[in-house]
Structure 1
Amino acid sequence: MASSDDQSLNLPLKEIPGDYGLPIIGPILDRYNYNYFQGHDEFIKSRMEKYKSSVFRMNMLPGQFIKVSDPKVIVVADALSFPILFDLSKVEKSNVLDGTFMPCLSFTGGCRTCAYLDPSEEKHRKLKSLFLSLIASRHDKFIPESQRCFNALFDGLEADVAEKGSANFNTLNDNMAFDLVFRIFFDINPADTMLGNKGPSMITKWLVLQLHPLITLGLPKIMSIVEDLFLHTFSYPSFLVKSDYQKIYDVIYTSSTSILDEAETLGLSKEEACHNLVFLAGFNAYGGMKALFPALMKWLCLGGQKLHKDLAEEIRTVIESEGGVLTLGSIEKMTLTKSVVYEALRIEPPVPYQYARAKQDLVINSHDACYQVKKGEMLFGYQPFATKDPKIFENPEEFIGTRFIGEGEKLLKYVYWSNERETVNPTVDNKQCPAKNIVVLLARLMVIEFFQRYKTCTAEISKFLLGSLVNVKTLTKH
């Protein structure tokens, strides 16, 4: 029997607590409690308390109706059990990106994209290699293009705050993120293409129609039956976004000659490679930025004036010492800036869920016990609890900007947002986000550009879909 950690030799082996309830009724009840009556965090927390375990059984949405696979999952929600999801000798990742269901392949031109492939599949190696090559070839674009896009974002925030008294960061961020993705990866301004200024709305609609079974709108509980009917009961057809998708595909195809030629040398067709580039740009990059940057702005605004002062001082001091030029080397010297970004990724990871399926009988160990998992069972990692594990992180619910400075860097191995430990780098043989290091860099660059421009800020924060809604109220310039 394989085990997730040698420490399991010193821990008792227990049955996984929890059950799935009655057929049909059990999944529906879990879905309503998870989405509407308790909410995600409270649902997980209440069962952890009930079973006195951070490993337990439940049904995961979408549940009984939109059903490509079984809704039954085993939850892992602590820092020690969570890494079993990364151990590809014991688990497999085929078709588990979205957990207990998989969107129709017609949303991606009939292609099963890299994100849904297991690393054991030869096509995964070829596509991941292609992505890593693309990212490496664009390294000189990251700083100048992000500076351009972030400053345009901040111009918009300032204008809205001055005119309206507040600025919806999320809306402005969507436009910025779409622009940034296309400038970095494809060297084009999407506004100059057939997409015009409609690109963000096109790609957002494409994302929503694929992921609606995972979305909760946050409507009053009295509306839960209506919301559940339209979001979690049946799948929407891809033809609703077929025209938009084709336009995005055509723009990327005509802008990616060299990378598509490289795909052919790897044994991939240009068409399949392009569908994967659309997914990489639209789902992974743009979709990730829709969650990442609002969360980062949220925690920056909530960080308080002392943190703002320290960040501004560090950033300005380092840049001045480098002759006023921002370089990758100077960014590495900004230890507080790095720590703040890691802390934001820890406390509010852009992708809160991760999945895997046991490829053999195995044993998972948590802090207090080991649990036996049977071959074929689905594991569901609830990251917001794993990266706020009180047995690993002191004051885990508190945003502490200095958490990962000095000795605190040792805790980075418990930051899991990228589908791996933060101390691991993406390769063709793992399922880690290929742009993991670029995501961290772009987040640092946003902090740097912000505090070169502003002394402090305030915002109103609320919940929106799977992330945070940030309304900026004040921006105080230097």
Structure 2
Amino acid sequence: MEVAKLLAFLALFALCLHFITKILKLRNHTNLHHLPPGTSGWPIVGETFEFLRKSLEGSPSRFIKERMDKHDSRVFKTSMLGEHIAVFCGPAGHKFLFSNENKNVQVWWPSSVKKLLRQSLVNKVGDEAKMTRKLLLSFLNAETLRNFLPKMDSIAQQHIKTHWEGKVEVLVYPIIQLYAFELACCLFLSTEDSSQVSNLSSLFDEFLKGIIGFSINLPGTRFHRAMKAAGAITKEIKMMVKNRRVDLEEKKVSPTQDLLSHLLVTSKTNGRFLSEMEIIDNILLLLFAGHDTSRSVLSSVMKYLGQLPEVYEHVLKEQLEISQGKEEGELLQWEDVQKMKYTWNVVSEVMRLSPPVSGAYREALKDFTYADYDIPKGWKLHWSTGSSHKDPTLFSNPETFDPSRFEGEGPTPYSYVPFGGGPRMCLGQEFARLEILVFMHNIVKRFKWDLVFPNEKFKYDPMLEPEKGLPIKLKPSHF
């Protein structure tokens, strides 16, 4: 017991020492640079708790907007998670960060992300990141994914039959998680065992809650639970990798059947294959990213369609027109999804008003100047959807739900960034698009619904989620 207390004290002491070093560096920078305006908040913790409070209220964009108004609408400084951060705002800020990858900036994440996602793409930089991304995209591109579309449709239909049909009331958020995770497990690992999928899904819930925050690995903390979950997930995936190697050698499975086979048989552009741990960590990353953001988006879509019956009717009309051109029992094909233009505009407007992720981070590779301010080497940089998605100069009547904003050429470049941009744009964008549209096609044809809590609040923890799970009352669609 005394040893445990000593270790806990040493861990906290090391953390405080780390933060004090950061503060001293900030003072040195203040003497040497014309820094962006802003405040560093409280000693050690900075403005972390204020940002988290706004996130749990569902409005991290307010944190950004208040400081844009108070300091500078182009860029301001703050301190969070023990780091000094320059927040780049609006389309100009987004463009600068997205277009300066590996020049002035590179990807950065808090230490919690680095420790949980280890050797995955999210922690790669430079040429190594480019090659790994290219390898993953060779599976996640539209040309490859179109071959899986009928399977995705079949999974969606079975999911709705099992978890929705015959129900009077459902809790949307956890049920949609099952759909999104079933789909990710099937396409990435060919795993369809319901008990295994359910177990992995529960582990990912623990994993997600600790991914953004202080990386204090002490019993009882979110990060400690996330590390335990990551260990259990890694063990499961490692066994799958071992079995798949044997099956591939014995030609029992196809090398193109899923992402796991693809990563085992395909080398990067330099001819090197991913190591076993790189494969495991990248699959862990994609299982996490491939279902959590989609779960958030689909929950928000269900909320808005429940609130806006005229939008629901328009979506239903488009989906029925697609179904009427198909034979009984015929599954969705690529050309069907390309006809879902209004439905995707609705999803895009949902992501403008309620982006599943509030932003991401970079790190300054060298001293540079932006908007007449000096940004020191080593500073952390943040871009936020909240600095542009509801800007009335970019989106007229920004609080109004209007899918027509995405017709024609759509919004001003770099003003709409739910998937990020540049070389680091979300590589699962096409997978998410298909996953969301396939579900919407099937759900609106079968049901209409009423929200049990019409004004239910959504919060970021760290992904966008409904506070009460979004319960809805189902009724059959009239078609």
With the length of structure 2 as denominator, give the TM-score of the two structures.
Answer: 0.76
Corresponding residue for 1:43?
Answer: 63
Residue 48 (structure 2) pairs with residue 31 (structure 1):
yes
- Of the three residues 332, 350, 367, the one matched with 2:356 is 350
- Of the three residues 115, 124, 128, the one matched with 1:117 is 124
Residue 78 (structure 2) pairs with residue 83 (structure 1):
no
Q: State the Cα distance separating 1:127 from its structure 2 match.
A: 1.7
Asked if the contact 1:206–1:245 (Cα under 8 Å) also holds between the matched residues in 2, the reply is no
Amino acid at match of 1:50: K
| CA deviation string 1:332-381 (max 9, x = no partner) | 2332112112212222222212111223444445xxxx544333322111
In 2, Cα distance between the equivalents of 1:330 and 1:78?
35
In 1, Cα distance between the equivalents of 2:180 and 2:403?
24
Q: Secondary structure at the match of 2:92?
A: coil
Q: State the Cα distance separating 1:244 from its structure 2 match.
A: 3.9
In 1, Cα distance between the equivalents of 2:35 and 2:96?
17
Describe how 1:17-416 pairs up with structure 2 within 5 A: 17-21=37-41, 25-28=42-45, 30-36=47-53, 40-51=60-71, 53-60=73-80, 62-63=81-82, 71-87=83-99, 88=101, 90-94=103-107, 96=108, 98=109, 100-103=110-113, 105=115, 107-108=116-117, 111-118=118-125, 120-121=126-127, 123-136=128-141, 138-155=144-161, 158=164, 161-162=167-168, 166-191=169-194, 195=196, 197-213=198-214, 238-239=227-228, 241-252=230-241, 254-255=243-244, 256-263=260-267, 266-302=271-307, 304-321=308-325, 326-365=332-371, 371-407=373-409, 409-411=410-412, 413-416=414-417
Corresponding residue for 2:11?
Answer: none
Asked if the contact 2:35–2:375 (Cα under 8 Å) also holds between the matched residues in 1, the reply is no
- Of the three residues 462, 465, 478, the one matched with 1:468 is 465
Q: Secondary structure at the match of 2:424?
A: coil
Q: How has the CA–CA distance of structure 1 residues 253 and 263 changed in structure 2, closer, same or farther, with 3 Å as cutoff? A: farther
In 1, Cα distance between the equivalents of 2:452 and 2:94?
33
In 1, Cα distance between the equivalents of 2:315 and 2:293?
24
Corresponding residue for 1:223?
Answer: none
- Of the three residues 448, 453, 459, the one matched with 2:446 is 453
Corresponding residue for 1:435?
Answer: 428
Amino acid at match of 1:250: M
Q: Once structures 1 and 2 are overlaid, which stretch shifts more, 175-184 or 438-447?
A: 438-447
With the length of structure 1 as denominator, give the TM-score of the two structures.
Answer: 0.76
Corresponding residue for 1:3?
Answer: none
Q: Once structures 1 and 2 are overlaid, which stretch shifts more, 433-442 or 269-278?
A: 269-278
Unaligned stretches of 5+ residues in structure 1? 1-13, 64-70, 215-228, 422-429
| CA deviation string 1:178-221 (max 9, x = no partner) | 110021223331437xx25312002222333433549xxxxxxx
| CA deviation string 1:110-163 (max 9, x = no partner) | x42111112x23x3233212211222575245422322333344345535842x
| Corresponding pairs, count | 413
Q: How has the CA–CA distance of structure 1 residues 270 and 449 changed in structure 2, closer, same or farther, with 3 Å as cutoff? A: same
In 1, Cα distance between the equivalents of 2:166 and 2:62?
35
Asked if the contact 1:75–1:380 (Cα under 8 Å) also holds between the matched residues in 2, the reply is yes
Q: Once structures 1 and 2 are overlaid, which stretch shifts more, 244-253 or 348-357?
A: 244-253
Describe how 1:6-25 pairs up with structure 2 within 5 A: 16-21=36-41, 25=42
Asked if the contact 2:76–2:87 (Cα under 8 Å) also holds between the matched residues in 1, the reply is yes
In 1, Cα distance between the equivalents of 2:304 and 2:184?
23
Asked if the contact 1:459–1:473 (Cα under 8 Å) also holds between the matched residues in 2, the reply is yes
Q: State the Cα distance separating 1:386 from its structure 2 match.
A: 2.3
Corresponding residue for 1:66?
Answer: none
| CA deviation string 1:297-321 (max 9, x = no partner) | 223323x111111111122124434
Q: Secondary structure at the match of 1:331?
A: helix
In 2, Cα distance between the equivalents of 1:158 and 1:78?
41
Asked if the contact 1:153–1:172 (Cα under 8 Å) also holds between the matched residues in 2, the reply is no
In 2, Cα distance between the equivalents of 1:290 and 1:315?
21
Asked if the contact 2:188–2:283 (Cα under 8 Å) also holds between the matched residues in 1, the reply is no
Q: Secondary structure at the match of 2:198?
A: coil
In 2, Cα distance between the equivalents of 1:147 and 1:388?
34
